[in-house]
Amino acid sequence: MSARSTAFAVLALALAGCATVSKPLQGEFTAITPHQAIEQDSTGSAVRWGGRIVRTEPLADRTCFEVLSSRLDASGRPAWAGADDTHGRFIACRTGFYDPALFTDKREVTFTGRLEGYENRRIGEYTYRFPRLAADVVYLWPEESRTRVIATPAPWPWWGWW
């Protein structure tokens, strides 16, 4: 096997490893979005949903998260194709305290659990019906840092031709 073939094989394995779902997020889940769950009663379904946190509410015995949902990529991380790429909103609650200083607005999170019902809440003057998830797993994704690269052209077009 040549060095080039070996390098290609290692790169392929590394990329395949990047696309696997984190162990806590693995399992069999119903392929339904929060928006679809509102339209059809799916109470009791096991789901894996994620998105951006809108609000974190610590209560006496649990913490509830209001989440703007998005599709998930191959690793289970929320993936946004654009600003309007959403599957609705949902509420996810989990026993215990989750610090709102860490679980801040716009942080990406993925949950697994069972759809336990629905809850009406107000968003401004609008009454919205939220699917409510009893979360088994709360997976807060690390913040991605984005670097803006600006390439400047060479002063003469023939630079780099040889």
pLDDT one-digit tens code per residue, 13-69: 444 445 577 788 888 999 999 999 989 888 999 999 999 999 999 999 999 999 999
Q: What is the per-residue pLDDT across 75-112, written as a single tens digit (0 to 9) for each? A: 999 998 776 778 899 999 999 999 999 999 999 999 99
Query: Domains of the chain by range and CATH?
Result: 21-140 (2.40.50.140)
- Give the whole-angstrom CA distance, residue 115 versus residue 134: 6
CB contact at 8 A, 61 and 43: no
Q: What is the pLDDT of residue 152?
A: 62
| pLDDT of the residue at 11 | 40
- Rounded CA separation 107/123 (Å): 19
**Rounded Cα–Cα distance for residues 70 and 121 (Å):** 20
pLDDT at 46: 95
Whole-angstrom CA distances from 128 to 3, 38, 68, 93, 121 are: 58, 10, 12, 17, 5
Give the integer Cα–Cα distance in Å for 68 and 36: 14
Q: Are 34 and 89 in contact (CB under 8 A)?
A: yes
| Predicted TM-score of the model (pTM) | 0.75
Q: How far apart are CA 40 and CA 43, in angstroms?
A: 9
State both tokens at 59: 């209560």
pLDDT tens per residue across span 105-156: 999 999 999 999 999 999 999 999 999 999 999 999 998 776 667 666 666 6
How far, in Å, CA of 100 to CA of 97, rounded? 9
pLDDT band at 12 (very low <50, low <70, confident <90, very high): very low
> Dihedral sign, CA of 71, 113, 138, 98?
positive
